[in-house]
Amino acid sequence: MNASENKVPAGWSPRIVAFFCNWCTYTAADLAGVSRLKYAPNVRVIRLMCSGRVDPQFILEAFARGADGVLVGGCHPNDCHYVEGNYKMLRRARLLRRMLAGMGIEEARFRLEWISAAEGEKVKVVVNEMVEQIRALGPLGLPGRWAEWDREVAGLAERVAAVEAAGVGEKESEVAHG
Amino acid sequence: MNHGKNNGEEIRIGFYVCHCGHNIASMVDCAEVAKYVEQLPHVVLSRDYKYMCSDPGQELIAQDIKEHNLNRIVVASCSPLLHEHTFRTAVERGGINPFYFHMVNIREHNSWVHTDRAAATLKAKALARAAIKRVAHHRALETKRVPIHPDVLVVGGGIAGIHAAMTLANAGKKVYLVEREPTIGGHMAKFDKTFPTLDCAACILTPKMSQVGAHPNIKLMTYSEVTKVDGYVGNYTVTIKHKPRYVIEDLCIGCQDCIPACVYKEPKFPDEFNENLGKRKPIYIPFPQATPQVVIIDPDTCLNLKTGKCKKTCVEACGDKKAIDFKQQETFEDIKVGTIIVATGFKTFDATKMPQYGYGIHKNVYTALEVERLVNASGPTGGEIILRDGTHPKSIGIIHCVGSRDERHNRWCSRVCCMYSLKLAHLLKEHTGAEVYNFYIDMRTAGKNYDEFYGKLLDEGVHFIRGRVGEVTDWAFTPEEEGHLVIRVEDTLAGYVRRIPVDMVVLATGLEPQEDAQEVRRLFNMSCGGEGFFLERHPKLAPVNTFTDGIFLAGCCQGPKDIPDSVAQAGAAAAEALVLVDKGYVEQEPNTAFVIENECSGCKSCVPLCPYTAIAFDGSKQKAYINEALCKGCGTCVGACPSGSIVQNLFEDAEVFSEIEGVLAE
């Protein structure tokens, strides 16, 4: 179940989905570009107006679709273009982290960073650091795991159906919970 | 989740990948990206082109829309912060709604930051695919037109603020000019002459100051500060704090009879305007041409304000005018403006941070700004160069780059120090006939007629020594050094270490952001660069704009510059503000949120989240409702709605989810 138990496929490289707020972190990533700073190509940025727009479902969706890491970038506390969207993201992130841990998703795979428009350098550092951390963890492979779980559930359903067919008169509720 | 969109029409996407010359093409195989996108669902045509933002590039999009009946457009090129608007306009010219467009950033976020061509190409494909998936969900949207308040606020009354305010006022706009000091004029008012023409600073500045004071379209608010900024482009509500000057501005006629009448017979307190080189009384006017011509009482030194026990001879001298009011309190005033120009200026580097240069340790070490007052005819010595120890200097050393171009202090070049050092060298030589030495790292005299001025100084016999000064000391090694300050420097042209004894040292201190730049930045919702100066929207193409619409920058708050550049930039900022104001309205991005009423469960989770109180709860329907006029489009409520019944235009769930799917499907 642990990612480290998974075999690292040949040629695998971490895939990171990043949600950057328009005003600070997206602009910082632009600045990193203008400054020709070099960082790992593993990150795919999705622009939102505010980190407050980041629905925890986006993060779950990214993992479910095969991301090995998710990065959310917003303005520093007190600097949010929309007053306090970043604080709201922070609150959600704390809840979500506990949930991700319960799903066996390591802490380092989800990162929330405050990166101001002037911090192009920080974009570079954070991305490179995250890529390295995830490289060490190996692939998350959530879609694969879920396929496995689906197969398990399907197998269970088959057995239930078989038991149902065999044991005539047995109550449905007993089967379902048995 | 697609709310009444598409009407079942067939989605026909046109895709364009831009080479941006070599900027993108050298790191991304554009032809391959185009070929890859061509086979994606709904893509009707896919092209790569050298410069998409050029006229022919834009025309290509418009033509293709018409010829191939395209109804969605994706362009992969630079940052949307740069050219989204350009392409939306092109799409509109093609005859479809501009919001059927999406832009992919493969330059700033890809070709410029990566070194592996295969990986960069793969990334470009992933980003392109995400956009192709996303754009299918786009809907036709309309920009909202919001009327603009015609008045303008200028913050900072230095030369930049003055020029911006005058330009706008002359164009017939009402301008509020807010200055926190008791007078406008800023740093320039303290200068003696200006380089390279040696114009008298006061002669060119003070007439402008009095024009500002008298202009019917300018409401001058000195000794005042902005404490709060609410609203958005076109409709800002700004709270101004008026600090008590204990003199009623409207009643004071500037006769200054009160000053000699003060119970302090002699000026006793450090005079800030003269860089503390002179003295003033508790009731004073900062300098003779101060605007407004209104005296001010300093509560920290006024006997009456401190103890309540004073004969109040000033009040007596004021007589019937009754301008002095010891009970004055700070007051707050709200003003409404459409745009704001921030021109809050700079501060000079604190020379005590470099104790090796002896400022504050040796009496005869001065900062350049102090020397400006010293050579000034209206300064504390009437223009005579009398040192702190009462002597006249026979030799003077001017040390360049103090606090500038220095990893330990400020990395940047302060841009004006070379020229003002040359100017002071000339003025000091003229005033004293002394030997003048300039210690420089590089001579930077790049403005119009500046290098010629440098040449003139060489002809005048001013000495130039290339090398960063190690220290200024009074520790004499030889009898000739006895009683002098000694400048120890490695002369990098001659190739040896020299010790040069001088009577006076002038430190050419660099320019820094104001102490409170961070608070001001927050107040106006601006960004700062790494060094703390306010950040322009684009260093080349939007040098006076900020990332906040309707807020512009002028002068040294944006970075070190000299007077001509400050004035030019102030004019530019005024023009940009005028463009907005005269247009009469602003178009707002339609990225606002709305509630799908029949899906809303009425849980009220969203209501307290909105910082703009745009969400209200309709008790009779038990549904939330978003006031579009108040919504700024952050999307925080959308991310929080547990029933998924709030939609943000341009950032709909389906659009973001399809982007996630797109970037990961490789």
Query: What interface predicted TM-score (ipTM) does this complex get?
Result: 0.88
- The C-alpha atoms of residue B414 and residue B582 are separated, in whole angstroms, by 36
Are B634 and A82 an interchain contact pair (Cβ–Cβ within 8 Å)? yes
Question: What residues of B are in contact with residue A47 (Cβ under 8 Å)?
Answer: 80, 105
For residue B111, the 8-state DSSP code is I
pLDDT grade for A78, boundaries at 50, 70 and 90: confident
Backbone angles phi, psi at A134, to 5 degrees: -75, -35
Our CA-based measurement puts residue B307 at a distance from the nearest CA of chain A, in whole angstroms, of: 41
Q: Does the beta carbon of B654 lie under 8 angstroms from any beta carbon of chain A? A: no
Considering only residues 528 to 557 of chain B, which have any Cβ-Cβ distance to chain A shorter than 8 Å? 528-530, 535, 547-548
To the nearest whole angstrom, how far is the Cα of A76 from the nearest Cα of chain B? 11
Q: What is the mean pLDDT of residues A50-70?
A: 96
Please check whether residue A139 touches B, CB under 8 A: no
At residue B7, the pLDDT reads 63
CA separation for the pair B292, B460 (Å, rounded): 40
Chain A CB contacts of B113 under 8 Å are 32-33, 36-39, 124
What pLDDT is stored for residue B2 in this prediction? 44
Q: Report the Cα–Cα distance between both ends of chain B, in Å, rounded.
A: 25
pLDDT number for residue B452: 97
Which chain B residues are Cβ-neighbours of A139 within 8 angstroms? none
CB contact residues (below 8 A), chain A span 95-134, against chain B: 116-119, 121, 124
| B108 closest CB neighbour out of A29, A50, A117 | A29
Q: Which residue has the tokens 């009482």?
A: B297
Do the chains contact at A44 and B112, CB–CB below 8 Å? Answer: no
Given a cut of 50, whether residue A2 has pLDDT beyond it is no
Query: Residue A53, SS3?
Result: helix
C-alpha–C-alpha distance, residues B308 and B33, integer Å: 80
- Give B638's contacts in chain A (Cβ within 8 Å): 53, 55
Residue A127 has what DSSP assignment? H
B219 touches chain A (CB under 8 A): no
| B660 to A62: CB separation less than 8 angstroms, yes or no | yes
What mean pLDDT is reported for chain A? 90
Q: What local confidence, expressed as pLDDT, does residue A178 receive?
A: 42
Question: Is there a contact between B110 and A41 if contact means CB atoms under 8 Å apart?
Answer: yes
Nearest to B482 by CA among B469, B501, B506, B498: B501
pLDDT at position B467 is 96
Report yes or no: A82 at the B interface, CB cutoff 8 Å: yes
Rg (C-alpha) for chain B, rounded Å, is: 31
Place of tokens 């807010």: B178
Smallest Cα distance from A100 to chain B, Å: 18
Residue of A24, A33, A119 lying closest to B113 (CB–CB): A33
- In this prediction, residue B4 carries a pLDDT of 43
- Which of A41, A54, A117 is nearest residue B535 as measured by Cβ atoms? A117
Looking at beta carbons, which residues of chain B come within 8 Å of A30?
79, 81, 105, 108-109
Residue A4 has pLDDT above 50, yes or no: no
A17–B639 C-beta distance less than 8 A = no
Query: What is the least distance, in Å, from the CA of B467 to any CA of chain A?
Result: 30
Query: Which of A30, A34, A38 lies at the smallest CB-CB distance from B114?
Result: A38
For B594, the enclosing helix (H) or strand (E) is: strand B593-595
Query: Taking CB atoms and an 8 Å limit, are B527 and A116 in contact across chains?
Result: yes
Residues 561-600, chain B, touching A (beta carbon < 8 A): 591
Which residues of chain A are within 8 Å of residue B548 when distances are taken between CB atoms? Answer: 81
HSE of B66, CA atoms in CB hemisphere, 13 A: 10
The CA distance from B354 to B471, in Å, is 9
* Nearest beta carbon to residue B113 from set A39, A44, A61: A39
Cα separation of B176 and B158, whole Å? 14
pLDDT of residue A171: 54
Q: Which residues pair with B312 in a beta bridge?
A: none
- Show residues of chain B in contact with A85, CB under 8 Å: 611, 634-636
Strands (E), B117-158: 144-147, 152-155
Cβ of A48 under 8 Å from any chain B Cβ? yes
Q: How far is CA B96 from CA B8, B90, B257, in A?
A: 17, 10, 72
- A62: distance to nearest CA of chain B, Å? 6
Looking at the complex, report in whole angstroms how far the Cα of residue B590 sits from the nearest Cα belonging to chain A.
12
What global pTM score does this model have? 0.86
Alpha-helical (H) ranges within chain A are: 25-34, 56-64, 85-102, 120-137, 142-166, 172-177
Q: Which of B106, B108, B541, B645 to mutate to test the interface with A (most CBs of A within 10 A)?
A: B108
**Cβ atoms of residues A165 and A88 within 8 Å:** no
* Residues of chain B positioned with their CB less than 8 A from the CB of A46: 130, 656, 659-660, 663
Q: For residue B403, is it left (φ>0), alpha (ψ between -120 and 50) or beta?
A: left
Q: Cβ neighbours of residue A122 under 8 Å, at least 6 residues apart?
A: A28, A113, A115, A116
DSSP H/E element including B207: helix B201-214
Taking CB atoms and an 8 Å limit, are A45 and B105 in contact across chains? Answer: yes
Interface test with A, best of B525, B636, B652 (most A CBs within 10 A): B636
Cβ-proximal residues to A31 (8 Å cutoff; 6+ apart), any chain = A117, A118, A119, A120, A123
- Measured over the CA atoms of residue B35, residue B40, residue B46 and residue B51, the dihedral's sign is negative
Whether chain A has a CB inside 8 Å of the CB on B267: the answer is no
B22 touching chain A per CB within 8 A: no
Instruction: For residue A41, give the nearest of B123, B525, B634 by CB distance.
Output: B123
Q: Tokens at residue A27, please?
A: 């602009």
Tokens of B262: 């003060």
Q: How far is CA B579 from CA B178, B229, B550, B585, B586, in A?
A: 22, 21, 10, 10, 10
Interface A-B, measured as beta-carbon pairs within 8 A, has a size of 144
Which residues in A lie closer than 8 A to residue B123 (C-beta atoms)?
41, 44
The pLDDT score that the predictor gives to residue A52 is 96
| B201 CB-contact burial (10 Å; exposed 0-12 / middle 13-18 / buried 19+) | buried
Predicted local confidence at residue B6, as pLDDT: 55
The per-residue pLDDT for A6 is 53
| Interchain contact, A45 vs B591, CB within 8 Å | no
Q: How far apart are CA B177 and CA B335, in angstroms?
A: 12
Determine the residue type at B87. Answer: F
Listed as ranges, residues in chain B with pLDDT below 50 are 1-5
Place of tokens 């019917």: B216
Tens of pLDDT along A37-58?
999 999 999 999 999 999 999 9
> Tokens 């009683």 appear where?
B483
Residue A41 preceded by cis peptide, ω within 30: no
